[in-house]
Structure 1
Amino acid sequence: MAVKETLETLKEKMNSNPEGIQGLNTTYQFDLTGTDEGIYQIKFEDGQVEYVLGETYEPKCTLALSDANFLKLVAGKLNPTMAFMGGKLKIKGEMGLALKLQNVLKNYQ
């Protein structure tokens, strides 16, 4: 499954069952390399999620990784801490938000 389809599915899951994202008001940016290379943003606001292509919003946390590792991350098949330590994942911005994202994704796997 490609990145766009994965994000669309994730958005639908989160918006139809927003308990796991309550209180999260921030924007994450994913700088992806690989086949689906590009900049993707996920914005959480008031229990709703939207995703956009490109730099539309000011991200509080940016994660740089390959598209393949992004798909593994969303599916729960990539340990973000190990990926970060191994150089497969780079994080800019608020590190605490990266940890929060891991917990949010677990709610929707």
Structure 2
Amino acid sequence: MADSDQQLKSDALLEQMKIHLTTDAGKETTKKIGLVYQLHIAPKKIGFNEVIYTVDLKKGEVKKGAYEGGKPDAAFSFKDEDFLKIATGKMNPQIAFMRGAMKIKGSISAAQKFTPDIFPKPAKM
């Protein structure tokens, strides 16, 4: 199966995000942000074998696949490990962008609201 070797570390975080958005804190985030983000997450190299996720902070949903309601407010491309670093607050999104670890398409003001705060804090295992 081609899909099983495409297991991204980010998948687990985005699964947590789905659950997080149903909580009060998640609903608060949805209210505050009200934007749609499309994430292109590549296992090793930006632009190759990307898995696309839509993080809809208007409806409070996370799903695999491109956004179907027109254009997302902002789209990001990154490698799996860099996305995790950004989402967990280990890498500043602006620094990631300047280093080329993250590419952005769409509204820059929307992109600036894409911060570790929108993600659930990783559950301590």
Q: Tell me whether the two structures share a fold, i.e. TM-score over 0.5.
A: yes
Identify which of 64, 78, 88 aligns with 1:53.
64
Q: Which runs of 5 or more structure 1 residues have no equivalent in the other structure? A: none
Q: CA deviation at 1:6?
A: 0.6
Give the superposed CA RMSD. Answer: 2.1
Contact 1:21 1:104 in 2 (8 A): no
Once the two structures are superposed, the pairs formed by residues 1-109 of structure 1 within 5 Å of their partners are 2-17=9-24, 18-34=27-43, 37-45=50-58, 48-57=59-68, 58-102=71-115, 104-105=117-118, 108-109=120-121
Percent of residue pairs bearing the same amino acid type: 28
Q: CA deviation at 1:5?
A: 1.6
What amino acid is aligned across from residue 12 of structure 1 in structure 2? Answer: I
Q: Which has the larger radius of gyration?
A: 2
Matched length: 106
TM-score after normalising by structure 1: 0.82
Runs (4 or more) in structure 1 with deviation over 4 Å come to none
Query: Any idea what the Cα deviations from partners look like across 1:59-92, whole Å, max 9, x if unmatched?
Result: 1100011011111111111110001111111100
- After superposition, the Cα gap between the structure-2 partners of 1:40 and 1:5, relative to the gap in structure 1 and judged at 3 Å, is same
TM-score after normalising by structure 2: 0.73
